[in-house]
Amino acid sequence: MGSSNNSPVDAKPTIPASGIEDITHGAGQSSENDVVSEPVNERTHRRTLNSAPIMPTLRHLLKQNHIEAADVTGTGKNGRITKEDVDRILQLRVSSQAESTDNQPIQRTSTPSTAVKASPQKENDDVASTISRGGLAMFRSMTQALTIPHFMYSHEVDLTVLNDVRSSCKASAAASAPSTTLSPLPFVIKALSQAFLIDRRINAHLDTSVSPPQVIIRSRHNFGIAVDSPHGLVVPVIKDVQSLSVATIASEVKRLGLLAREGRLVPENLEGATFTVSNIGSIGGNVVAPIIVPPMVAIVAIGRARHVPVFQTDATGVEHIVKRDQLCMTWSADHRVLDGATIARVAEHTRLLVENVDTWSVALN
């Protein structure tokens, strides 16, 4: 994630107090009796207190969120800045943003996830936008996601057999439902649910509000399916996937996707997710690094299916290059709860289920 500077934060040339006042008030306007001299002195005092070296991870977090070390009151030993100190600043920033949005009249623009103040706009002018109330939910959850130690795992899945099954299902259903379509996504969702049975910790929530933290393993497989809608990214939830057929899952994907695009999702459609599936391949891309939505402990992203050349050995032992259909699945997991071996086992079992979908006993009607 980039290199970190291990030098102390006060290694940079310091600015005299008078220089700070000049910047704050304008040249020639500062004085020792100025009413804002106390906060400036307080900030300078914090700069002195924060002279202890900062951990590289915290230095990166400060830089990523555009926070000056001098603006953080360190509560650690010898005034050292801690993770809790940075989290406190981020929480105050989110709360301030929310209050500003709630108390400010806004006008919607052509971008559904943002809102801007009504003002005359000239050509080539920059536009300052405010995150909408809907966008604030993602803002808060992604800010919280910064506290999760992610690790990634990706693998390829062969869809050749699955696509043959889809073609057979389409042909058999043509007479009764000519418009019926069955994408790979419902099969992958069902395979995930079955694979989770080999390690149920993946379908869990992490509760950090208690000490020690608790991992709550969920018995219901409620899968949030990320949908790109005209109103921004939404994640409706398919409930009880473990009890649904592939055909029923396909119907739910279609129904919830339609509600999302029409802006008709209700809170019940968005609540209770225990795991998230991002079908980023429906837009484009192959390998991505999905971000876990707390309190969940894992997420998987499905890349775009594509044709690839593969070496295959025939019955005589001769190798041939054949065309196969493949997609990439990329997992992100919370390393506080899960390890690489666990994700690898579940991912491998998911791959085997998808590649041998013709052996399933699936009710498609």
Residues forming the active site: 335, 339
Is residue 202 classed as helix, strand or coil in its secondary structure? helix
- How many C-beta atoms lie closer than 10 Å to residue 362's C-beta? 15
Tokens encoding 273: 């997710």
- What are the Cα distances from residue 77, in Å, to 50, 54, 68, 108? 10, 12, 19, 48
| Tokens matching residue 311 | 């070496």
The secondary structure of 237-276, three-state, reads EECCHHHCCHHHHHHHHHHHHHHHHCCCCCHHHHCCCCEE
Q: What six digits make up the tokens of 317?
A: 């032992």
Q: Are 330 and 289 in contact (CB under 8 A)?
A: yes
> What does the DSSP 8-state code read for residue 237?
E
How many CB atoms lie under 10 A from the CB of residue 209? 8
Residue 65 in tokens:
């969120």
The rounded distance, in Å, linking the Cα atoms of 114 and 94 is 16
Residue 77 CB coordination number (10 Å): 8
Q: Contact 48/74 with Cβ under 8 angstroms?
A: no
Give how far Cα 290 sits from Cα of 56, 201, 224, 303, Å: 24, 19, 13, 11
> What is the C-alpha radius of gyration for the chain, rounded to an integer number of angstroms?
26
Instruction: Take residue 275 and report the two structure tokens written for it.
Output: 């795991």
Q: Among 191, 188, 220, which residue's Cα sits nearest to residue 204?
A: 220
Contacts of residue 265, Cβ cutoff 8 Å, sequence gap at least 6: 234, 236, 256, 259
